[in-house]
Amino acid sequence: MLKGKKILIGITGSIAAYKIPLLIRLLKKEGAEVKIVMTPCAKDFVTPLTLSTLSQQPVLIEPYDKTDGSWNSHVDWGRWADVFIMAPVSANTLAKMASGIADNLLTTTYLAAKCPVFFAPAMDLDMFHHPTTQKNIDTLLSYGNHLIAPQEGELASGLCGAGRMEEPEEILRIVRDFFLKCNHLSGKKVLISAGPTYELIDPVRFIGNFSSGKMGYALAEDAAARGAQVVLVSGPVGLKPLHPGINLISVTSAAQMAEACFSEFKSSDITIMAAAVADYTVTDPAPVKIKKSVDKLTIELSKTTDILATLGKQKQAGQFLAGFALETDNEKPNALSKLKNKNLDMIVLNSLNDQGAGFGYDTNQVTIVMADGVETEVPLKSKKDVAAVILDVISARQ
């Protein structure tokens, strides 16, 4: 799986650097090309000679050779790699990465990198849980970087808790899995809807819902990472797609979302309708702001087009159609009814009764039900991880 892959490893000043020689050996055994860039402080924990011997490549530390002035190009190294693994990442370097500080060869190479970046924090328990560190991790994730989360265990300080860098064998598995799924959906067009719709009452008010769009955007990012051409039809949310392979179509109302989805569906191989579309819209929105002049105000609502049901009727052989069912009661029967009545290939059920699932959360807990009855239970995970499971299930059917 890794034969011929170009992997750049960035090492910072952390005791966990002692694990990197083993990681290099594992990557080399898989057939990967490995290069190393390290901070000056990292030399205190693992020697450049050891790393150079194992990688069979020179190890870069300084921006230039002080004896002859020759330049070590961070641009060339940043563009060389298929994957950049920053491991271990100290709290100091983590903060620099999040802030765009480039005061050594490693951080300048990170800023120049065009490839996916994985970062594996390693630090003491309290440093890892400090709000600044957690904010910096969130910032790096928002940039599209991939976190290799530290594990709980005995730390160099003698404390026990989170902050222990992941083991080399697990980092290898993560990198393997990344390349394995990179081309799962290559050549496929994936249509995804996300977020709420707003149905205008007047120019300043609307009927809407609490959807954040986080689940739909996570699906779009994961599908694009698998090589798909992604069209994301999104209602109004405070998010933006990070992957360059995502074509965003921004809409506001249910009618606009229906128009966009109907237009893109014909050429789509996979469609996942994750948006929370309004079932009803205001029949006659007021052209000007409604004044508070009466004790009671009656607004007439009209049924919106059922986008998912319409797509189910239009679905052709070879097209895969998935929907979401967010329920508050009688969850499973309602989801199964939706799966059958709307001619879906898959329904993703989640319940507002599950703690940490539903609107607004960064986590979700779902049950994936296929038209042939096969079910996959997904416990509470980040929406990013839930999206990966959903795409794994779909990819297995392609």
| CATH for 337 | 3.40.50.10300
Domain-located, residue 312: yes
Residue 184 has what pLDDT? 79
Burial label, 200 (beta-carbon count in 10 A; 0-12, 13-18, 19+): middle
**What CA–CA distance (Å, rounded) separates 229 from 232?**
10
Are 209 and 99 within one domain?
no
Give the amino acid at 387. A
Do residue 177 and residue 203 come from a single domain?
Answer: no
Is 383 a member of any domain?
yes
Q: Do 122 and 210 reside in the same domain of the chain?
A: no
The reply to whether 1 falls in a domain is no
Same domain membership, residue 214 and residue 103: no
Which domain-ending residue is among 163, 182, 201? 182
Burial class (CB in 10 A: 0-12, 13-18, 19+), 148: buried
Q: 231 and 294, same structural domain?
A: yes
Whole-model pTM: value is: 0.68
Please state, in angstroms and rounded to a whole number, the distance separating the CA atoms of residues 311 and 316. 10
Query: Does 137 share its domain with 266?
Result: no
- CB–CB of 10/94 below 8 Å? no
Give the whole-angstrom CA distance, residue 143 versus residue 141. 5
How far is it, in rounded angstroms, from Cα 59 to Cα 35? 7
Whether the Cβ atoms of residue 365 and residue 354 lie closer than 8 Å to each other: yes
* DSSP calls for 243-310: STTEEEEE--SHHHHHHHHHHHHTT-SEEEE--B--SEEESS--SSPPPS-SS-----EEEPP-HHHH
Catalytic site positions: 209
Any alpha helices (H) in 121-251, and if so which ranges? Answer: 125-129, 131-142, 168-182, 214-225
pLDDT of residue 323: 97
356 within a domain of the structure (yes/no): yes
Contact in structure between 312 and 231 (CB atoms under 8 Å): no
Closest CA to 215 of 378, 71, 1: 378
Q: Does one domain contain both 328 and 234?
A: yes
User: Which of 182, 208, 229 is the last residue in one of the domains?
Assistant: 182
Do 18 and 45 touch, CB atoms closer than 8 A? yes
Give the relative orientation of helices 91-99 and 105-112 as an angle to the nearest 10 degrees: 40
Among 131, 160, 182, where does a domain finish? 182
Does residue 37 lie within any of the structural domains? yes
Q: How far apart are CA 278 and CA 372, in angstroms?
A: 29
Q: What is the pLDDT of residue 70?
A: 78
Residue 42's pLDDT is 96
Q: At 69, which CATH number?
A: 3.40.50.1950
Answer whether residue 42 is part of any domain: yes
pLDDT for residue 337: 95
CA dist 287 and 22 (Å) reads 68
Residue 154 lies in a domain: yes
Q: Are residues 244 and 380 in the same domain?
A: yes
Whether 172 and 196 map to the same domain: the answer is no
What is the block-wise mean pLDDT of the chain (398 residues), using blocks of 10 residues?
91 94 96 95 95 95 80 83 94 95 94 92 87 92 86 72 85 88 85 97 95 95 91 96 90 98 97 97 96 91 97 96 91 93 95 77 91 93 90 89
Joined tokens for residue 315: 């679905």
Rounded CA separation 295/313 (Å): 44
- Distance (Å, rounded) from C-alpha 92 to C-alpha 89? 8
CA distance 182 to 222: 9
Closest CA to 384 of 225, 247, 233: 225
Quick one: 197 and 298 in the same domain? yes
Q: What is the pLDDT of residue 167?
A: 92
For residue 289, give its domain range.
Answer: 189-396
Characterize the bridge pairing of strands 146-147 and 117-121.
parallel
- On whether the CB atoms of residues 280 and 257 are closer than 8 A, the answer is no
| Predicted local confidence at residue 361, as pLDDT | 82
| Same domain, yes or no: 218 and 173 | no
Q: Which of 220, 273, 275 is nearest to 248 (CA)?
A: 220
Show binding-site residues: 279, 289, 324, 338, 342
- The rounded distance, in Å, linking the Cα atoms of 240 and 225 is 16
Q: How far is CA 209 from CA 111, 238, 256, 279, 334, in A?
A: 38, 14, 16, 11, 20
> How many domains in the chain?
2
Residue written as token pair 């000043």: 13
Q: Is residue 280 included in any domain, yes or no? A: yes
